[in-house]
Amino acid sequence: MRLRMAARESWDHVGAAIESKLGQIVADKIYPEDAVKRDIGELKARLPHKDVNFNAAASAARSRIEAQWRREGRTHDTFGVIMGLVASVSQFERVR
């Protein structure tokens, strides 16, 4: 039981490290989900991505960091919507 808990904690640390790295990569990017696609691909190519535990840790880390970006309004489905509305209003004002 202790060994299983220690392994789970170790995978949690892997996930936290991935999440931290993704956050660092996109610190100044508007659409961070686009910016990390290449980095995630490189990470999967170098690490044991066929390992079920690694995949679970990486997926959970990406989900957590994307949720954070969404809360910050930096993703296509948040910031992109706002920018689209601004563009529409600007175009409407020019036509009027």
pLDDT tens for 13-49 read 999 998 898 888 888 877 888 888 777 777 777 776 6
| Calpha distance 62→58 (Å, rounded) | 6
Q: Which two tokens stand for residue 86?
A: 């601004």
Domain count, the chain: 1
| Calpha distance 76→34 (Å, rounded) | 9
User: Contact 32/75 with Cβ under 8 angstroms?
Assistant: yes
**Torsions phi, psi of 69, nearest 5?**
-60, -40
**Residue 34: HSE in the Cβ half-sphere, 13 Å Cα cutoff:** 9
Tell me the whole-structure pTM to 2 decimals: 0.68
Domain holding 81, by residue range, is 2-95
